[in-house]
Chain A
Amino acid sequence: DAGVTQSPTHLIKTRGQQVTLRCSPKSGHDTVSWYQQALGQGPQFIFQYYEEEERQRGNFPDRFSGHQFPNYSSELNVNALLLGDSALYLCASSSLGALSYEQYFGPGTRLTVT
């Protein structure tokens, strides 16, 4: 049973560029959440997708956008990259219908903005 997968593993971009990160949820899960984790800090909630719509959003600017596909996979897009966007981007999947609220994380994408 495949867990949560993310691609790419690492990415280096220049300020002002745009980036797309991808996530496939754990089998049986229908909800995908994205988090940003700066070095030495806990993950910060960006947004959550369910049924191809954004359900919730954290305190992130509109430069951060996402999408969920019919097969539940998801993309995170970041426009006009800033140096401060350098971080580990984590995708987590869960089942909205489950009562546990447990989220399972992928290995992350390390984004470096130069």
Chain B
Amino acid sequence: EDQVTQSPEALRLQEGESSSLNCSYTVSGLRGLFWYRQDPGKGPEFLFTLYSAGEEKEKERLKATLTKKESFLHITAPKPEDSATYLCAVQGSRLTFGEGTQLTVNP
């Protein structure tokens, strides 16, 4: 059975303090790894797709990387508006999500 584990569960940063979120996975036949951002009470918002080890994607202050067993979401100089829950998901036979990392960025 496909599994996704995200860490830490919660992360509190000061504005401008860079950090990384981790997503460890086991999947039978990886067809893609996805990062989503979710604001409270709303649907997940698509951020990135990664397909193979060594691949990297960037968008503003976010950079996602992928290895054979995990993915990282690096946040550089975060701002308060980056506060949200970040979800990692893997596409094997179906899309399987982790529990998410709740990020809070204080001004």
B73, CB-defined interface residue at 8 Å: no
Answer whether residue B78 sits at the interface, using C-beta atoms and an 8 A cutoff.
no
CB of A105 within 8 A of CB of B91, answer: no
Q: How far apart are the CA atoms of A92 and B32 in the complex, in Å?
A: 16
> By the criterion of a CB under 8 Å from any partner CB, how many residues of chain B are at the interface?
23
On whether the beta carbons of A56 and B46 are closer than 8 Å, the reply is no
| Contact residues in A for B45 (Cβ distance below 8 Å) | 105
Q: Check: B31 CB closer than 8 A to any chain A CB.
A: yes
Of the listed stretches B12-20, B54-62, B63-71, B95-103, chain A binds B95-103
Which listed residue (A6, A33, A44, A88) contacts B41, Cβ 8 A?
A88
Contact present for A105 and B49 (CB under 8 Å) = no
Evaluate contact between A42 and B97: CB separation under 8 angstroms. yes
Comparing A12-20, A69-77, A79-87, A96-104, the segment that makes contact with chain B is A96-104
Chain A residues whose CB sits within 8 angstroms of the CB of B98 once the complex forms: 42
B93 contacts partner chain A, Cβ-Cβ < 8 Å = yes
Which B residues contact A (CB, under 8 angstroms)? 4, 31-32, 34, 36, 41-46, 49, 87, 89, 91, 93-100
A-B contact pairs, 28 of them (CB 8 A): A4-B43, A6-B43, A40-B99, A41-B99, A41-B100, A42-B89, A42-B100, A43-B97, A45-B94, A45-B96, A56-B93, A58-B94, A88-B41, A90-B43, A101-B32, A101-B49, A101-B95, A102-B32, A102-B34, A103-B46, A105-B36, A105-B43, A105-B44, A105-B46, A107-B43, A108-B41, A108-B42, A108-B43
